[in-house]
Structure 1
Amino acid sequence: MFDLAVLWEWVMIAARWTHVITAIAWIGSSFYFIALDLGLRKTPSLPPLAHGEEWQVHGGGFYHINKYLVAPDFLPEHLTWFKWEAYATWLTGFALMVLLYYFGADLFLIDPTVMELTVGQAVTLSAGSLAFGWLAYDALCRSAIGRHQTLLMLVLFGLLLAMAWGYAQVFSGRAALLHLGAFTATIMSANVFLTIMPNQRIVVADLKAGRRPDPKYGEIAKQRSLHNNYLTLPVIFLMLSNHYPLVFATEWNWLIASLVFLMGVTIRHWFNSRHARKGKPWWTWAATAAIFLAIVWLSSVPMRADEAAALPPGAARFAAAPGFDEVADIVMGRCSMCHAAEPGWDGLHWPPRNVRLETPDQIAQEARRIYLQAGLTHAMPPGNLSWVEPEERAAIVRWYRAGAG
């Protein structure tokens, strides 16, 4: 019979692996096509209606690419659509969020010291905020503001800043930043699903009917694609943020996340300018470095003391399980020198992954991770530096299974 915790862990591993693979495919194709679009050249030999061309070499062969700003005067037999990378990335990312943050809401989504929520309330706020993000963004793009690219980008940054602050007032620090990434990724995926692809289908339908397609559909799709290009790097950062306490577990996590969006703009501006043959604006790297240093400083600002909070139901069950006192002594003796507010291990300045194991309540809340990393496997402590005995690992396994059972 499978151990439920082990099976659940492998489900999440599979979901995360699939999510990373699909994200690589989407980000790679997105970066490629933006660079291709910006690098197009106008030459006398262009076919009728073509906007530009590009010669490329890869894998031992040469590629000659022509772009039609609106559409060619015929529909090619073989037309490759780029859409499933975006769809699969969002679907696997949402599945991973459900597995980790919805089913594990008591541990990862809800922080009673931030806001006392039921699981149902937290999940409703989470899903509702993603839908709100797309509706608000799409309304802005379709409004008069959408006709002014710079103004639109400034307003969108204000929206992201407000959402970053709002998430930090509702969810745990880890969940707040992850949700800001999901909020942005939902906008990006919906751009493909609800705007770019429908516009392409309209153009294809016009070609089949022998009509001249309206160029506005291509212009709208290009605007949304450019937005996705500038949002990509911040989304990657936010999706990785849950591994780094200096990002999510600080007083100013919402401001750090907001500044990351500015870094995404400065970095992509350099590459986009280079691909468009508009020079190399080196000032963008100085701006990126300045923003990064500001983030480093914000991450080290002392935090207010946490308020005491009752154990969530799941953790309370493990605190009452047989063998908990023995396990608490083992963990505090073997693990708390690193997993402490002020680690005693040389070279550590904060607890790894912000996991603190100095009190029985903290140990009960981390029951599943302790079981998987120090009971069932020997992942912790690294190199068994604190000499955890086999009997102690067995005690951890007995305690966890008693509490889970």
Structure 2
Amino acid sequence: MIWHRPTAGPGRPDPRPRVVVTGIGVKSPAGLTLDEVMDTVLAARPTAEVHKDLIETGSPVHIACRVPDFDVDSYLTRRERRQIDRPTELALCAAADAVRQAALPTLTPSRVGVHLGTGIGGLPTMEALVRDNDANPTAMPVHSVPRTMANSAAARVAMHYGFQGSCVTYSTACASGATAIGEATRRIQHGELDVAVAGGFDSAVTAFMLSGFSRMQALSTRNDDPRSASRPFDAARDGFVMGEGAAVLVLELRESALMRGATVLGEIAGYATNADAHHIVAPHTDGAVAAACMAGAVSDAGLLPSDIGQISAHGTSTQANDRAEAAAIHRCFNGQAPPVTAVKGVTGHLIGGSGALEAAIALACAQRRIVPPVANLTTASESDRIDVVAGAPRVVDSAPVLSNSFGFGGQNVCLVLQPAT
């Protein structure tokens, strides 16, 4: 039986407002809509491919998960596209889909905020600018600075729609998108906003970025077999596959959404964040701090660990991360964890976009009462600690889902998402 927060009563304050999702937009390697993404994820169909430009530019890693071509001109004018870079382009298009689905009414501009997360920001664009203009710095394009600003995407979304509420960009490495969703939820619960456009984005598939991660031995080196390269929780994992993409959610008060007849896609029920304070790139091996973050999100949702029906793991496909996360899950759930999935075997690692995309997928899974299998999982090295789903989707009862995002610097963020009720 699921425990919920107490309702208001004599001598007791009103319960915290509930924040729901009314729009979701995605631009990812697994699909350009959430339905497309779910089809790909449930089929456990990897999207990693060899890319010729990575070979030509001398990257030691030739594989990545890129967003398939789509009609960007149907979203943005030619002038707008000249002024922005690839990460911002993906974020704007995902935001447009989310806002369109939410069918927002006329709102007070100061009551609508934009909260986006990015782990890399405009660094890939800086790389291109230096490469193309190093011999003649005075030839830098006029839009060089706006294109490389990490907050460009959030600012552009706010400008496009005239949203004048808090416009914030978060950078908590690979947890950035989840941070943005959690912090935006807080702003709504505290009465600062009525609506928030929240999510994450990144596009770091460049020779410089891949070389840097490769030097850290964080990336898979399976250049000759890209589809099997990303394999979360598998004994033969050798690193993650770089991806790109964006996912954006429209969040609003449940009461307001129901009053205007909006379709409620689910609820952001719990949020917690903390820091390992251990190592700049390696997780704490015992998983204690990450486990505390999971427990905090579950408690924030007014639930018990036994109420969680499935877990969307961060699951990068690196030896250290997957081992530490398995330890954390085992600790948080006292050895009785629900089924675990990890979608990076399909999508690759979207860095700042991962937490937001995985939250959207987790919400869809909760709605459909299904847990996707982990791609490329043949020998689960952590099977003695957690129940990682493999082979085929698993049908489960209707229940909240826990979504984990862990970033470099020991940045831990967990969200609890509820199916629509």
Question: TM-score normalised to the size of structure 1?
Answer: 0.28
The structure richer in helix per residue is 1
Question: TM-score normalised to the size of structure 2?
Answer: 0.27
Larger Rg: 1
Q: Relative contact order: is structure 1 or structure 2 higher (C-alpha 8 Å, sep ≥ 6)?
A: 2
